[in-house]
């Protein structure tokens, strides 16, 4: 499985270098804004600010959310995210309000790395999850205002009740 991810990352990197050469910079300059929506493959149901839908044997979980950021320096954005999740497992049905705050840095204006704190407020839960998230990927700029950012994310659980999670994300970003 690791080889598949490595090959996919190398292919996206090669494609992205060609796409980046065709687009002039400016998307990650200081004073710019970023609005981002992610798909959360392998995401934990709690603390999720992405779009996801998972249904296995009648158990369904879904989430909706988005993130926004402001570039306080060239290539460095401060971000916040909000989301809502709903999960049904057997007779158990719970929903959560999710949040995230962090920073995203674009190495060479095209390799995004992100560090953030994410958490959730779960209805009727004894303990709410919180995570430190580490994320890296590659930004493929499709024009002056749009990018696709595939990447990997690792969530380190800060609570004993919750587990660490690995995610593959595909982000879609608008740059102003």
- Alpha-carbon torsion 156, 162, 166, 167, what sign? negative
Domain ranges in the chain?
A: 2-175
pLDDT at 10 over 90: no
| Strand-pair partners of 78 | 70, 103
Q: Are 155 and 169 in contact (CB under 8 A)?
A: no
In residues, how long is the chain?
Answer: 176
Domain 2-175, CATH 2.60.40.10 — does that match?
A: no
pTM: 0.78
pLDDT at 11 over 60: no
Helix (H, G, I), strand (E, B) or coil at 160: coil
């Amino acid at each position: 499985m690791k080889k598949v991810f490595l090959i996919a990352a190398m292919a996206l990197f090669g494609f992205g270098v060609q796409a980046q050469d065709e687009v002039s910079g400016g998307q990650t300059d200081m004073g710019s804004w970023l609005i981002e929506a992610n798909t959360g493959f392998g995401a934990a149901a709690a603390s999720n600010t992405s779009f996801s839908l998972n249904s296995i044997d009648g158990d369904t979980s879904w989430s909706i959310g988005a993130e926004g950021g402001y570039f306080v320096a060239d290539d460095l954005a401060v971000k916040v995210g909000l989301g809502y999740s709903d999960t049904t497992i057997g007779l158990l049905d719970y929903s959560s309000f999710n949040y995230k705050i962090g920073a995203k840095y674009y190495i060479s204006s095209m390799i995004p790395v992100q560090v953030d704190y994410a958490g959730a407020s779960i209805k009727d839960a004894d303990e709410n999850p919180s995570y430190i998230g580490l994320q890296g990927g590659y930004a493929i700029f499709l024009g002056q205002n749009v990018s696709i950012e595939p990447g990997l994310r690792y969530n380190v659980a800060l609570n004993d009740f919750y587990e660490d999670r690995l995610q593959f994300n595909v982000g879609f970003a608008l740059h102003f």
